[in-house]
Amino acid sequence: MIIVQVKEGENIERALKKFKRKFEKTGAIREMRSRKAFEKPSVKKRMAHMKAVYVQHLRLEEEK
């Protein structure tokens, strides 16, 4: 359960922003989306490898 302390006289938009930030940090939406469709471990590993290669390529291009 997420609890947001609201100070006296604090704007409701600011409290809502705090709530959204805390909710995002919990990772509930990310987890829900990942559970929505099963992804095989081999596919996860392949995608992680492809991302690492891509990032390494970008870093090498930056250095040039």
Helices (H), 6-40: 12-26, 28-36
- For residue 56, the model assigns a pLDDT of 97
- For residue 1, the model assigns a pLDDT of 83
* Mean predicted confidence (pLDDT) in 25-36: 90
Q: CA 56, 52, 33, 36: dihedral to nearest 10 degrees?
A: 150
Residue 61's pLDDT band, with cuts at 50, 70 and 90, is very high
- For residue 21, the model assigns a pLDDT of 93
- For residue 2, the model assigns a pLDDT of 86
- For residue 7, the model assigns a pLDDT of 87
